[in-house]
Amino acid sequence: MTASSKTILDAARIRQDFPILWQRVHDKPLVYLDNAATTQKPQAVIDRMLRYYHEENANIHRGVHALSVAATDAYDAARERLRRFINAAETREIVFVRGTTEAINLVAATYGRSHVGAGDEVVISEMEHHSNIVPWQMLCEEKGARVRVVPITESGELQLEAYARLLGPRTRLVAVTHVSNALGTINPIEEIVRLAHDRGIPVLVDGAQAVAHMTVDVQAIGCDFYAFSGHKVFGPTGIGVLYGRASLLDAMPPYQGGGDMIRSVTFERTLYADIPQKFEAGTPNIAGVVGLDAAIAYLSDVGLDRVTAYEHELLAYGTEALARIEGLRLTGTAQRKAGILSFVIDDIHPHDIGTILDRDGIAIRAGHHCCQPLMARLGVPATARASLACYNTREDIDALVGSIRTAKAVFA
């Protein structure tokens, strides 16, 4: 821990770095509580992307000219920073993709297609986002395999014993989320990986909701794949990372064919490039990569340990404040939670809550959060969800509570 990480995070100072937060919405100060959907971007990220287009724009890995060298250097440096960010063993284990969804689809289409066959099983959990359900369903349908689902408890925790029982001789892969986007549950991911590895089963972790809120160390977790999106960690949309263990990535067939992923091409035979280029066909999202690089640099500067501690406090404050509202029920009350406050209120549909809050300048998400099977399990059609980031404050929570009281008055 560095000296700065011991000091308390100054959210007011951080808010100054996010110009979008300074505006008024419906003539009220914007209260942005939809961070699980996407986070806002600090000026450093916006500036970095502008500078890329102003000064460096060129295609990478092919030009002899100065701009191409600058763009290539920026792109490669970003990969190394991303390696450090999640403590991967090697830089070539970082594959740039469009986002978490593409990362999971990549693994399903390559590792999945070559390892899952008729009668085999892929284990997921009841709290998965559609992006960690549908690719496995598509794969299993194609192969005659089966998706098995780990149940959750009423509070929104994985049932670990049931999970262990689901792991069997036909299990080819476990795909599970690190942090639930709808409930906030932080899963005991090391334990999940250990139980699978004891049986020789690889594990993919959906880290979309984790990376902006806690230090992630893929070697400590021990997972084989780890996926996350740039836009949920203060970076731009359209860029994300798939971490894969080098030995697995090496053995996997390519995902898409095209330029940049080959060593040599003849009409008879193509030799593929080494990892990670093998999985990065075509001109990548270079501006996205340098933007994500700036976002990770920014977050590292703020200090993830401080972010975790600050958000933990804010979550406790919010949980207590919401619990005092009569008729409000929190969905997701796991022991270990990230900053997600998902709730339902008697006789008020989440959409109506969302509309009324919006008129007070408060942005939350209302709906099924791309977790329809989870909503069915919880017996609710939808929830309202306030999700925190390090720039949120107690004042934001107070505004949320005040506006929920307005909604209750409308529907009284």
Partner 1 sequence: MSTELDDLYQEVILDHNRKPRNFRVLDAARKAEGFNPLCGDRLTVYLRVADGVITDVGFQGSGCAISKASASLMTESIKGKSVADATRMLERFQKMVTSPEPVDDLGKLKALAGVRQFPVRVKCATLAWHTLRAALESPDAVVSTE
User: Can you give the binding site for partner 1, defined by CB under 8 A?
Assistant: 26, 347-352, 355-356, 359, 366-368, 372, 375, 381-382, 406, 409-411
| 405 CB-near residues (< 8 Å, 6+ apart) | 325
Identify whether the C-beta of residue 408 lies closer than 8 Å to the C-beta of residue 327.
yes
Residue number with CB closer to partner 1 (143 or 369):
369
Residue number with CB closer to partner 1 (26 or 394):
26
Residue number with CB closer to partner 1 (247 or 355):
355
Q: Distance (Å, rounded) from C-alpha 292 to C-alpha 237?
A: 9
CA dihedral 185, 180, 291, 367 (to 10 degrees): -130
Residue number with CB closer to partner 1 (172 or 368):
368
In the complex, the smallest distance separating the C-beta of residue 352 from partner 1, rounded to whole angstroms, is: 5
Q: What is the DSSP string of 138-171?
A: HHHHHHT-EEEEE-B-TTS-B-HHHHHHH--TTE
Q: What is the DSSP letter of 267?
A: S
In the complex, the smallest distance separating the C-beta of residue 365 from partner 1, rounded to whole angstroms, is: 10
In the complex, the smallest distance separating the C-beta of residue 81 from partner 1, rounded to whole angstroms, is: 36
Question: Active-site residue 370, yes or no?
Answer: yes
Tokens 């899963």 correspond to what residue? 187
In the complex, the smallest distance separating the C-beta of residue 387 from partner 1, rounded to whole angstroms, is: 17
In the complex, the smallest distance separating the C-beta of residue 229 from partner 1, rounded to whole angstroms, is: 20
Residue number with CB closer to partner 1 (242 or 382):
382
Single out the residue of 100, 155, 148 nearest to residue 125, CA to CA: 148
Residue of 223, 370, 371, 390 marked catalytic: 370
Identify whether the C-beta of residue 317 lies closer than 8 Å to the C-beta of residue 323.
no
Single out the residue of 133, 175, 180 nearest to residue 152, CA to CA: 180
Q: Distance (Å, rounded) from C-alpha 77 to C-alpha 67?
A: 15
Catalytic residues: 370
